[in-house]
């Protein structure tokens, strides 16, 4: 892709970007994160570090960096309010026309801001994320999430497919929508679900962030609680997109991405029927493929069914729509042979080793 032409503009012509970093007990990692925002090819107007009641000297790290660079501003909260409130505090004080979200333990690629602003402007979009590299536990993996508008809308039916710390948005998005504390643990998914109704969203199909995995993340320590919130968001998106679903179809819809195994063959067949119905409601080929690809995710969870899962997987017309390859079949065969529970330690180990499914 072409390099951004905005680099040659004068400072006054450059897009004004505010970076929001909510930090809680990240003293050991915050410096690298802030520096990655400082070292952008398209400089930020300001970097707001909201210390959310940290007790480990996070504020000391931010204050030292602020003394060296006037673009950094520390906002210290009196006690821990949670990431939603912390980010909203930053948004209240942001001066930029563009808002970039960054987590206190992640690292931006040097061209992140330039590429995202260029992408949003050229495609007349309002909010975007990007692809990213996961590192820190097991093998580093590149996450290439759906990136077109149609594919993203279809994918959002099942889970958030914008990596939150890769977000760049026009200020107007956050003027209309803020993070909701009652959706804590999935506040980003809730934000995107509501934003889709009024704004255009996509992902830049390039790696623009290094996303750090660590044992303390909510995605790893509070998965059940997160799923409780996420279930409601999925159903809200179905309603927003005008998709009618019976009570049992709603249950099956949430089963596809639930952090637990599918141990009933009738449920697996029900998921297949529901996905076929969803695929038929989408005219866009990319959206159809995204919906069909959820069949693989459901079969991963149905590994305890063993050979019955594998036979059902291979016989489904969803396989053709999804375009799943040989490696996925091999992975599912291994899972079926071992009848691995989705929440088991061996399954987690396989995922860290790069399980494609």
pLDDT for 137: 76
Sign, CA dihedral 25-108-149-253, equals negative
pLDDT digits (tens, 9 = 90+) for 55-74: 999 999 999 999 999 999 99
pLDDT for 12: 45
**Long-range interactions of 237-244: CB distance < 8 A, separation 24+:** 237/156, 237/157, 237/193, 237/196, 238/157, 240/193, 240/196, 240/197, 241/153, 241/157, 243/157, 243/278, 243/281
pTM of structure: 0.89
pLDDT for 354: 62
What DSSP state is assigned to residue 107? E
pLDDT for 215: 67
Task: Give domain 14-220's CATH superfamily.
Answer: Spore Coat Polysaccharide Biosynthesis Protein SpsA; Chain A (3.90.550.10)
pLDDT digits (tens, 9 = 90+) for 94-111: 999 999 999 999 999 999
The pair phi, psi for residue 246, each rounded to 5°, is: -70, 170
Q: Is residue 220 predicted with pLDDT exceeding 60? A: no
pLDDT digits (tens, 9 = 90+) for 129-187: 999 999 987 788 999 999 999 999 999 999 999 999 999 999 999 999 999 999 999 99
Distance of alpha carbon 210 from alpha carbon 346, whole angstroms: 26
All structural domains of the chain with their residue ranges = 14-220, 244-352
Q: What is the mean pLDDT of residues 209-226?
A: 75
pLDDT for 223: 75
Strand 168-170, strand 98-101: pairing: antiparallel
Q: Which of 8-17, 22-31, 175-184, 257-266 has the lowest mean pLDDT?
A: 8-17
pLDDT for 139: 82
Q: Confidence band (pLDDT; 50, 70, 90) for 6?
A: very low
Is 23:62 a contact under the CB 8 Å cutoff?
yes
Torsion angle, CA of 206/234/177/76, rounded to 10 degrees? Answer: -80
User: In the block, which residue shows the tokens 């906002």?
Assistant: 75
pLDDT for 214: 74
pLDDT for 5: 33
Is 234:254 a contact under the CB 8 Å cutoff?
yes
Q: What is the mean pLDDT of residues 197-204?
A: 96
pLDDT digits (tens, 9 = 90+) for 315-336: 999 999 998 889 999 999 999 9
Residue 339, by phi and psi: left (phi above 0), alpha (psi -120 to 50) or beta? left
pLDDT for 191: 97
User: In the block, which residue shows the tokens 């090819």?
Assistant: 41
Mean pLDDT of all residues in the chain? 92
The pair phi, psi for residue 12, each rounded to 5°, is: -70, -20
Q: What is the mean pLDDT of residues 270-295?
A: 97
């Amino acid at each position: 892709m072409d390099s951004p032409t905005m680099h040659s503009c004068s400072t006054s012509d450059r897009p004004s970007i505010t970076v929001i970093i909510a930090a809680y007990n990240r003293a050991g990692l915050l410096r690298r994160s802030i520096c990655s925002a400082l070292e952008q090819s398209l400089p930020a107007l300001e970097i707001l570090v909201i210390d959310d009641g940290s007790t480990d000297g996070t504020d000391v790290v931010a204050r030292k960096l602020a003394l060296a660079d006037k673009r950094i501003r520390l906002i210290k909260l009196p006690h821990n309010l949670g990431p939603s409130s912390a980010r909203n505090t930053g948004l209240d004080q942001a001066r930029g026309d563009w808002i970039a979200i960054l987590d206190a333990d992640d690292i931006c690629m040097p061209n992140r801001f330039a590429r995202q602003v260029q992408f949003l402007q050229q495609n007349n979009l309002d909010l975007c994320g990007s692809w990213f590299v996961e590192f820190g536990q097991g093998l580093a993996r590149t996450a290439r999430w759906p990136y077109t508008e149609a594919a993203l809308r279809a994918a959002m039916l099942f889970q958030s497919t914008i990596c939150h710390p890769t977000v760049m948005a026009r200020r107007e998005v956050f003027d209309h929508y803020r993070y909701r504390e009652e959706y804590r643990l999935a506040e980003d998914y809730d934000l995107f679900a509501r934003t889709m109704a009024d704004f255009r969203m996509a992902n830049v199909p390039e790696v623009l962030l290094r996303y750090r995995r660590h044992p303390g993340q909510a995605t790893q320590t509070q998965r059940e609680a997160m799923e409780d919130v996420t279930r409601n968001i999925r159903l809200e998106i179905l309603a927003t997109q005008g998709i009618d679903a019976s009570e049992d179809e709603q249950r099956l819809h949430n089963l596809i991405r639930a952090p637990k195994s599918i141990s009933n063959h009738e449920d697996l067949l029900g998921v297949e029927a529901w996905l076929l119905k969803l695929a038929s409601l989408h005219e866009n080929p990319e959206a159809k493929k995204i919906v069909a690809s959820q069949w693989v995710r459901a079969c991963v969870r149905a590994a305890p069914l063993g050979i019955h899962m594998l036979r059902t997987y291979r016989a489904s017309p969803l396989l053709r729509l999804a375009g799943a390859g040989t490696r996925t079949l091999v992975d599912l065969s291994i899972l079926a042979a071992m009848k691995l529970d989705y929440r088991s330690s061996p399954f987690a180990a396989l995922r860290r080793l790069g399980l494609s499914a």
